[in-house]
A and B are shown apart, each in its own frame.
Chain A
Amino acid sequence: MKKFREKLSGRIFLALAISSVAALALITVFILVQGLPIIKSVGLIDFVFGMTWAPTQGEFGIFPMIVGSVAVTLGAAIVGVPVGVCCAIFLAEFAPAALRNVFRPAIQLLAGIPSVVYGFWGLLFVVPLIRDYLGGPGLSILAGSIILGIMILPTIISIAEVSLLALPRQYKEGALALGMTHWQAIKSVLLPAAKSGIVAAVILGIGRAIGETMAVIMVLGNAVALPGSILDPVRTLTTNIGIEMGYAAGEHQQALFATGIVLFVVIMLLNSTAQYITRGNKVNRGKKK
């Protein structure tokens, strides 16, 4: 009986693990199978660099959407990365304990709030501000960058803070003992030492920005055209899927899956880079000891 239970439990865990992997593989395979035919028939170059997206007339070029995604993501990084890294330094080095105990859960809350709420808030405050003071329709790359910049803060802050806190105490103590000021110690010892973790934090934050859909649908304006300035509306890869999936059929639907493949590949590349950077760092540190 006991032996039977031993064997059974091992088998069950193995079966669960295999089905998890199978499920995860299923997603990848499925999206590839659905999207690859259209990439084949249109041609990869024409699909990725094509300027016209007119799915009802059989024109499938996603270049304007790629430009949109890149522009908004870069903007989000410009807004979010400096603030996020400063916040991580604040939490790891400067914050009084009482403030830290409020700040950390607050960041978690920021991470948990539904993206539609951010989008709506952007629509109410950010978009009118841009329209009134900077001109243009308000629904723009700038609005999307600001909202996404806010949304990626929790990812950047928490990962960067963890990598700062993971440093051995001697680093800071040694720097201070050499007569450095606190900021000098941070700038010339702690930040370089935690660099790989911070870079990973930024990459994962960027990954989150590229993948976000609902918030950007609400503030980007969704026009399929190359933007002339950051005050122009754009459409991203994700919003293209979100807007058109409801009514797409046939080749049009396949083209949306193909858009999904492009997203999938970009995110995979970003995540593997982040994993590679953090892992490389662990190996290095292990060697030093």
Chain B
Amino acid sequence: MKQAHFREKIARVVIWAAALLVMAVLGAVVVYILYKGLPMLSWEFLTQIPRDMGRAGGISSTIVGTLLLTLVAVAIAIPFGIGTAFYLAEYTRENIVTRIIRFSAESLAGIPSIVYGLFGFIFFVIMLKLRWNILSGALTMAFMILPTMIRTAEEAIRAVPQSYREVSFSLGGTKWQTIARAVFPSALRGIANGVILSVGRCIAETAAVMLTAGSALRMPASLLSPTRTMAVHFYMLATEGISMPNAYGTAALLVILIFLINVVANMLVNRFVGKKESR
């Protein structure tokens, strides 16, 4: 009996230690980057074009490149991701087709980003002759976020209580009316959460983007201009020893962006859950 209580104590200590260790590591990474990078974030840094390979000037063109690439990738993936999710959740029973769709989505969700980069490089850049530019990068990223988007949207749609659909049908609503006016609005928060997480993945991705979007530092003029995203810019600055202060500044901005994205996603989920519980 005594031994059991002794073991209980040891287990508690070990588990608390593991948790504190993880917090400490996370703190070390985030605090260090912010400590070194935050002082770099000035209006000039955010609004000037990188000069001299990134040694001087700011990172404005990489911010614009990142945002454009992310926007286009998400805009391409949204209709396919959400459409597929609605098809899976609302239009079919479980059969061989849904199983194939779900299996391919689940399997491809885990494929390394470098493999998506390989595919995007050969298919969009070389075969379709799009060359290295925002469009190639965005198409590659759209492929990469599609599986996750399908899954999160399907989960959100399935979380809508069956009674919503039944009430809509009993009022004479058609299938489309039910989906558009009863199911979609209730699933919207969950779907939006998936979209926002995809935005985060696009911003953070380096390997696939480097192979498909190029590494030009010019301000992109159109979707067919090559660009360098912030993550790629950070990688180049840091590994080629071009400018440590600018690397820290870019990393700090990336961490802040990811943090904001997580805050928004959490707000959506909390409201989503809160709403469900109050029913």
Chain A complexes with chain B: yes
CB within 8 Å of B: which residues of A? 2, 5-6, 9-10, 12-17, 19-21, 23-28, 30-31, 34, 82-83, 86-87, 89-91, 94-95, 103, 105-110, 112-118, 120-121, 123-125, 150, 153, 157, 180-184, 186-187, 204, 207-208, 210-214, 217-218, 238, 241-242, 245-246, 253, 256-257, 260, 263-264, 267-268, 270-272, 275
Q: How far is the CA of A218 from the CA of B205 in the complex (A)?
A: 15
A83 touches B22 (CB 8 A): yes
The B interface, classified by DSSP as helix, strand, loop or mixed, is helix
Q: How far is the CA of A12 from the CA of B86 in the complex (A)?
A: 11
A83 touches B101 (CB 8 A): no
A30 touches B25 (CB 8 A): no
Q: Which of B251-277 contact A (CB under 8 A)?
A: 251, 254-255, 258-259, 261-263, 265-266
Asked if B239 is an interface residue, CB under 8 A from chain A, the answer is yes
Q: A105-B266, A238-B112, A275-B106 are in contact. Are A95 and B19 (CB under 8 A)?
A: yes
Q: Tell me the minimal C-beta distance from B190 to chain A in angstroms.
A: 16
| 13 new A-B contacts at CB < 8 Å, known A30-B123, A112-B262 | A5-B176, A21-B104, A24-B147, A25-B104, A31-B115, A90-B18, A107-B22, A110-B29, A112-B200, A114-B205, A118-B29, A153-B22, A272-B107
A83 touches B104 (CB 8 A): no
B114 touches A20 (CB 8 A): no
Q: How far is the CA of A184 from the CA of B12 in the complex (A)?
A: 11
B239 touches A218 (CB 8 A): yes
A211 touches B234 (CB 8 A): no
Q: Tell me the minimal C-beta distance from A212 to chain B in angstroms.
A: 7
Contacts of B107 in A (CB 8 A): 268, 271-272
CB within 8 Å of A: which residues of B? 4-5, 7-8, 11-12, 14-19, 21-23, 25-26, 28-30, 32-33, 79-81, 83-84, 86-88, 90-91, 100-101, 104-119, 121-123, 143, 146-147, 150, 174-176, 179, 200, 203-207, 211, 231, 234-235, 238-239, 247, 251, 254-255, 258-259, 261-263, 265-266
Q: How many A-B residue pairs have CB under 8 A?
A: 238
Residue from B12, B112, B238 within 8 A of A213 (CB atoms): B112
Residue from B17, B84, B200, B254 within 8 A of A16 (CB atoms): B84
B247 touches A120 (CB 8 A): yes
B101 touches A17 (CB 8 A): yes
Contacts of B238 in A (CB 8 A): 116, 120, 123, 218
Contacts of A125 in B (CB 8 A): 28
Residue from A21, A121, A241, A253 within 8 A of B114 (CB atoms): A241
Contacts of A271 in B (CB 8 A): 106-107, 109-110
Contacts of A87 in B (CB 8 A): 18-19, 22
Q: How far is the CA of A153 from the CA of B235 in the complex (A)?
A: 23
A94 touches B22 (CB 8 A): no
Q: How far is the CA of A167 from the CA of B88 in the complex (A)?
A: 28
B87 touches A17 (CB 8 A): yes
Enumerate the 10 nearest inter-chain pairs by beta-carbon distance, A residue then B residue, closest first. A16-B83, A211-B112, A86-B18, A114-B204, A17-B87, A183-B11, A90-B19, A13-B87, A112-B258, A181-B8
Q: How far is the CA of A15 from the CA of B79 in the complex (A)?
A: 11
